[in-house]
Amino acid sequence: MKIGLLIVDMQEVFLHNQKNELNVAGACEHINHVADLLRSNNHCVIHVQDIEGADDHNPELLPIIPEIEVNETDIRITKEESNAFWNTDLEQILIKQQISLVIVAGFAAEQCVLFTYNGAKERGFKTVLLQNGILSTHGDVIASTYRDRNLVSYPVIEFMVS
């Protein structure tokens, strides 16, 4: 079984003024650990960047935050909708990479993370959220998102890839 980690919208434009309030460092620690595990075992890491309305933002805010490690072997896609599958080639990338389990992490739990999670499930992928790897500006959203969706923790991923 091949695993793909989707790291959604971990960008300066969304997080630059909220890093302490949202515990970005904690989420990044989990995301980076899982990404390293997957890379070292020939699985796939995909960074999804939202460029919707990019003309309205300062271009220096669109990049991925420096707390997220990006490797030259990682795949990058851009999107303009909340669901990273909508009007992108993400599904084809996952099929080409022979991904059967999709792990979704990133920002924001109630929007792009959730819509991408649902998009993966609708396309027949086994899909989970990375426990402690999603962020939201709404404190109660993360708990309800975890309650209503499939989750995986990094120790389970460690076991799966070893």
Assign 24 a pLDDT band (cuts: 50, 70, 90): very high
Assign 107 a pLDDT band (cuts: 50, 70, 90): very high
Domain of 141, CATH number, reads 3.40.50.850
| pTM given for the model | 0.94
Buried b (16+ CB within 10 A) or exposed e, 74-112: beeeebeebbbbeebebbeebeeeebebbbbbbbbbbbb
Q: What is the pLDDT of residues 57-80, one digit of tens each?
A: 556 568 999 999 999 999 999 999
What's the domain count of the chain? Answer: 1
The domain in which residue 102 lies consists of 2-161
